Every structure is written in structure tokens, then in C-alpha cells.
Amino acid sequence: MKLNKKFWSEGPGSFAIAIGIALFIRWALLEAYVIPSGSMLPTLLINDHIFVNKLVYGLRVPFTEKWLFEFNEVERGEVIVFRFPEDQSIFYVKRVVGMPGDRITYENGDLYINDSLVEKKPPTTKKSEFQWLRKEDFNGQEPAYFTHWEEKLGDNTHSILLGKGERYEEYGPVTVPEGHYFVMGDNRDNSKDSRVWGYVPRELLIGRASFVWLSCEEKLPVITFLCNPLTVRFKRFFHFIE
């Protein structure tokens, strides 16, 4: 059967083209995710809707974990989205702390990379991030219980949260294996990350978290995947993730 031009411009063909373009963008370029927990506070808030750059690290063979082309390497300090190694139907977002071959130690709230202490200092330019924090985000604890710090990993300066008071936790030292990454949440005392379940293999990478395109304090009670328009955080629109 011969298809005329109207089939592609006005008929079912135009609908098929639109679907094909949307699927290509989702497969190769950008994909949207919603932040479900407070493990990345204050960088990412609960109910932040983010776009993830999938092209930055490469292109995959569709429906596989095999790389068709590899572009940029992951950099220390980037926020990445990946498939959870213990259940690949779940997606996680964390910050890359350790690169392949790095020696990682974490004790008493201090992070050491290759036996060098990662300096943290009181925040300077990121004080506005702390204004969004609510008691509900901390499982009933007051935000005032936490201290806000600024940390630099590689070229990336970002915020982290630490609970006040004495701490005695120790982790490591461990050496990150080749082809893997050590990741942590910015809410250091409330994050299940590589300290709990191990490393992220490169083949499970989805992409780099780029920016927040929508954010709200609450979702609708019935249609739970939609934001309650009365609780939208307008100032977070197009907030770039550092």
C-alpha cells in the first residue's frame, strides 16, 4: 500500500513519528525522575522532579547494559542516577565520591580519599538551600539538629548535612575496584549508599542529574505522581544540580 504525504503529516503517521521522537529522547538524551527520599538533602529535596542527562556518558545498545559509544568519564563530585545493584528495577541518585582505584575511609563525619581529608567548611554561597528543609523531611527530627557544610570534591563544590553531637561510625578503608564508583548521599547520616551495599558498576549508570524542572512539598492525595499545585516551590524551577 502506498502512503501519501498526508499520512505522515496529518494522519496516524504523524502520531507514530511523535512517539518515536519521544522514545528516542528518553532512550538517548534526557529522562525525568522524581526524588522520593531525603538522602540527598539539601542538594535534592523530596518531590524534586529532575532531568537526567543520559548522553553525557555515552549511548547504549537499546534494552541492554552494553555501551554502543562511550563519551565522557564520570567525574568525582557529580550527582548520578543509576540502577540499584541489588535490585536493578530500582533507580538511585547519589554523589560520586570514589573513583576506580581510590582508597576511601569515612569516620566521625570526616571523609578521606587516598588518606587525605576532604575539607568541609561552613557554607558561603549555598545558604539558600537550607531554607527548604522541613521537619517532615527528617523523619520527625528538627532540621536544627543538623549542621550544614560545604564540601569540594574535584571541581564540584556542594552542600552536605551532618547530625550534631558525637559520632563514632567508621567505614573502611576500602579500595574502589576498576569499573566501579563509590557513592554517598549528601545527607550523610541518613543515606543508604556505598557504605551499606557496595559499589556502582559503570554499566548500571543512567546519567548525570542536570536540573530540577519542577518541585513541590506535597503530591496530590489520589493521583500520587502529580504535584499538589498549592505546594509548588516556584523558586526551584530550573535549579541546576551541583
Catalytic residues: 39, 94
In the chain, what's the furthest Cα-to-Cα distance? Answer: 76
Q: For Cα atoms 191, 126, 31, give the angle at the middle one, nearest 5 degrees.
A: 60
DSSP string, 105-118: EEETTEEEETTEEP
Burial of residue 73, with CB atoms counted within 10 A of its CB: 0-12 exposed, 13-18 middle, 19 or more buried = exposed
Which residues 6+ apart lie within 8 Å of 66 measured at CB?
Answer: 60, 203
DSSP code at position 176: P
From first CA to last CA, the distance across the chain in angstroms is: 53
Phi first, then psi, for residue 144 (nearest 5°) are -65, -15
Q: What SS3 class is residue 84?
A: strand
Residue type, 96: V
Decide: 82 and 180 in contact? Cβ < 8 Å.
Answer: no
Q: For Cα atoms 158, 162, 166, give the angle at the middle one, nearest 5 degrees.
A: 150
